[in-house]
C-alpha cells in the first residue's frame, strides 16, 4: 500500500491511536528505509527549488505528538538539505501575554508560508485543543468550538494556495519513558527534560483521548492528518519523507519560463562585452 494511504486519517473516520502499533510495519527493514529516506530528501531539495522558483503554491507541515515523539529530530533529518531561504520553522510554546490577549489563531497565521515557501510548525494551533483541554485551561465549550474554527482557518489557507500536511507522531507510553531515561543520561540533552514532561505522563489517558478527538474532527480533504508510527525514528523519517515528496510532486511544477527577453539581454550586454574584448 502507498505510504500516504496507509497512514492517512480518512476524513469522517473514527480514530483510536492506542489500538495502532507505534512500531514500524514489518515490510521494510532499517537499512532499506534509511536508503529510501536519503533518496527522498534529495528529491525534496529539487522539489523545493521548483516550488520557490514558481512562487505560487506554498506548503505547510504541521507536526504534533507526545513529548519526545521526535518532532525536532524529524525536522533535522527531513529539511537539512533544503535552502534555508525558502523554509521557516516555528516552535509554538506557551503563549506570551500579548499572544494570549488575542484569539488563539492570531499568533499562528503570521507564521504560515508565503508563496513558494515551506513552513514547518513544531507543535501548532492544535495545542489549543490538546494542552488547554487536558490541563483545563479553558472551559469545555471553548475548546470544543475550536475544532470548527481550525477547519475554517485551514480551509482559508488551502483556498489561497497552501498545501497542508499534518503529521501525528505516534509513540507509546513505554517508548516515551525510555526516551526520557536516555535524555537523563545524556548530558547533551538533559536540558530538554522538565518537570512538566513527567507531570503530563500522569495525564496520558486524557491526552490520548484529546489526540484522537483532534484527529477525528480536523482531518479534512484540504488538510489531512497522517498518523505515523514513530517508536522507530528511522521509520518515522522514511514515512514522512515519502508523503511530503509525493505531495510536492503532485503540484506538477517545472522550471518556469523567464520573465525577461533572454535574447535581448544577451545582445545588449554579452555581445557588447564580447566586442569590447
Which structural domain, as residue segments, surrounds residue 117? 3-276
Q: Is 193 a residue whose pLDDT tops 90?
A: no
Which stretch of 34-38, 118-122, 205-209, 250-254 has the lowest confidence by average pLDDT? 250-254
Q: Is 248 a residue whose pLDDT tops 60?
A: yes
Is residue 47 a contact partner of residue 245, using CB atoms and an 8 Å limit? yes
Q: Is 40 a residue whose pLDDT tops 90?
A: yes
Which pTM value belongs to this model? 0.93
> In the structure, what pLDDT confidence band is assigned to residue 25 with cuts at 50, 70 and 90?
confident
Alpha carbons 61 and 63: distance in angstroms, whole number? 7
CA separation, residue 229 to residues 20, 23, 171, 264 (Å): 8, 6, 7, 55
Give me the percent of the chain exceeding a pLDDT of 70. 97
φ/ψ of residue 166, rounded to 5 = -120, 130
Is residue 7 a contact partner of residue 228, using CB atoms and an 8 Å limit? yes
Range list of β-strands (E), the chain? 8-9, 58-64, 87-91, 118-122, 162-170, 225-229
> In the structure, what pLDDT confidence band is assigned to residue 165 with cuts at 50, 70 and 90?
very high
Q: Quick one: pLDDT at residue 49? A: 95
Q: Quick one: pLDDT at residue 60? A: 98
pLDDT, tens digit, 9 for 90 and up, residues 251-276: 988 888 888 888 888 888 887 666 55
Mean pLDDT of 46-67: 95
Q: Quick one: pLDDT at residue 207? A: 97
Mean pLDDT of 144-173: 98
> In the structure, what pLDDT confidence band is assigned to residue 26 with cuts at 50, 70 and 90?
confident
The number of domains in the chain is: 1
Q: Quick one: pLDDT at residue 271? A: 75
> In the structure, what pLDDT confidence band is assigned to residue 1 with cuts at 50, 70 and 90?
low
Q: Is 138 a residue whose pLDDT tops 70?
A: yes
Q: Quick one: pLDDT at residue 110? A: 95
Mean pLDDT of 110-120: 97
Assign 234 to helix, strand or coil.
helix
Q: Quick one: pLDDT at residue 274? A: 62
Q: Partners of 111 in the beta sheet?
A: none
Q: Partners of 79 in the beta sheet?
A: none
Q: Quick one: pLDDT at residue 196? A: 81
Q: What is the mean pLDDT of the chain?
A: 93
For 112, what's the count of Cα atoms within 13 Å in the CB-facing half-sphere?
21
Alpha carbons 175 and 201: distance in angstroms, whole number? 12
Q: Quick one: pLDDT at residue 39? A: 96
Query: What is the domain-level CATH number for residue 33?
Result: 3.40.50.300
Q: Is 277 a residue whose pLDDT tops 60?
A: no
> In the structure, what pLDDT confidence band is assigned to residue 72 with cuts at 50, 70 and 90?
very high
Alpha carbons 112 and 118: distance in angstroms, whole number? 9
Amino acid at each position: 500500500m502507498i505510504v500516504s494511504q496507509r497512514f492517512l486519517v480518512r476524513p469522517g473516520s473514527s480514530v483510536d491511536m492506542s489500538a495502532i502499533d507505534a512500531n514500524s510495519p514489518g515490510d521494510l527493514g532499517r537499512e532499506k528505509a534509511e536508503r529510501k529516506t536519503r533518496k527522498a530528501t534529495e528529491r525534496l531539495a529539487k522539489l523545493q527549488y521548483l516550488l520557490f522558483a514558481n512562487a505560487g503554491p506554498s506548503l505547510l507541515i504541521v507536526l504534533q505528538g507526545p513529548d519526545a515523539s521526535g518532532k525536532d529530530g524529524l525536522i533535522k533529518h527531513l529539511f537539512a538539505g533544503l535552502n534555508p531561504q525558502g523554509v521557516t520553522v516555528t516552535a509554538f510554546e506557551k503563549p506570551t501575554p500579548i499572544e494570549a490577549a488575542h484569539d488563539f489563531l492570531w499568533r499562528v497565521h503570521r507564521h504560515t508560508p508565503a508563496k513558494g515557501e515551506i513552513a514547518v510548525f513544531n507543535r501548532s494551533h492544535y495545542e489549543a485543543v490538546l494542552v488547554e483541554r487536558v490541563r483545563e485551561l479553558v472551559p469545555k465549550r471553548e475548546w470544543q468550538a475550536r475544532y470548527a474554527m481550525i477547519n475554517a482557518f485551514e480551509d482559508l489557507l488551502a483556498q489561497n494556495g497552501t498545501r497542508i500536511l499534518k503529521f501525528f507522531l505516534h509513540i507509546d507510553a513505554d517508548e516515551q519513558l525510555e526516551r526520557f531515561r536516555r535524555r537523563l543520561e545524556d548530558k547533551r540533552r538533559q536540558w530538554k527534560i522538565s518537570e512538566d514532561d513527567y507531570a503530563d505522563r500522569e495525564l496520558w489517558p486524557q491526552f490520548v483521548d484529546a489526540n484522537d478527538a483532534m484527529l477525528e474532527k480536523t482531518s479534512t480533504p484540504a488538510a489531512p492528518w497522517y498518523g505515523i508510527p514513530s517508536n522507530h525514528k528511522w521509520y518515522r523519517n522514511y514515512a514522512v519523507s515519502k508523503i511530503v515528496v509525493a505531495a510536492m510532486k503532485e503540484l506538477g511544477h517545472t522550471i518556469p519560463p523567464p520573465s525577461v527577453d533572454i535574447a535581448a539581454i544577451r545582445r545588449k550586454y554579452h555581445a557588447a562585452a564580447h566586442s569590447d574584448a
